[in-house]
Structure 1
């Protein structure tokens, strides 16, 4: 795909579409089950910018900010919001099923907790992104599909 993405005879819009159709699905494979930490988010944003810089043939030594690169590509940084949206739709699907997946996803299992700092759960990352307040509010919102979809749409609009 390097020859297609870096070809200057092809319009930037077409090259961006090729990136979205062929590269992003590979990059986001299985993202519904990821817990995105700050470090992971930075790496994903850096990867997105790396693709755009390669597509525009901007050297890594060039002193261009990410905002300038996004303007040249006529786009905005969307990868994280796409991943969060996919996570939220999958989470809603799992919560409505009310089976074993539901129990595993919420992490409400009996027993002792392990020592040290606890790992972040998927539900915690989603409630922060959706600005739902408590995780129980988000779980209750999944029961009503319309309400859940509007919560997701509002979070995507805010671009966080």
Structure 2
């Protein structure tokens, strides 16, 4: 962001939001997009191989017992479902196992 602000000659005293700077240079937040892609690809890797059986159980499974007081934390799987736009975990697992998740992901994340 600092380099973009220098290229656009935006003074450090001017309060220009990052979104405005990115819009003016026709860029977007690449790091967040890359992070989401790698997270979903990691899910596909875990679900495809049988050597990750325990990790599959941890990522997909539920823990028995009562839940604590307060708002629940967002789970890893729920975070992936929200960023891909796939509501059903079964659909997400099916796409990940068949290596179709990347095409679906790139269509939804753009």
What TM-score do the two structures reach when normalised by structure 1?
0.55
Match of 2:67 among 113, 118, 139: 113
Quickly say closer, same or farther: Cα 1:59–1:135, change in 2 above 3 A.
farther
* 2:96 paired with 1:150: no
* 2:49 paired with 1:94: no
Query: Could you report, residue by residue, the CA deviation over 1:18-77 in whole angstroms, capped at 9, with x for unpaired residues?
Result: xxxxxxxxxxxxxxxxxxxxxxxxxxxxxxxxxx1x223444431434344124545222
1:9 match? none
* 2:42 paired with 1:85: no
Point out where structure 1 has 5 or more consecutive residues left out of the alignment.
1-51
What displacement does 1:91 show? 1.1
SS at match of 1:109: coil
Q: How many residues align?
A: 104
After superposition, residues 25-40 of structure 1 pair within 5 angstroms as none
CA distance in structure 2 between the partners assigned to 1:63 and 1:101 by the alignment: 46
Point out where structure 2 has 5 or more consecutive residues left out of the alignment.
none
What TM-score do the two structures reach when normalised by structure 2?
0.75
Name the structure, 1 or 2, with higher relative contact order (CA <8 Å, separation 6+). 2
Greater than 6 Å deviation, 4+ residue runs: none
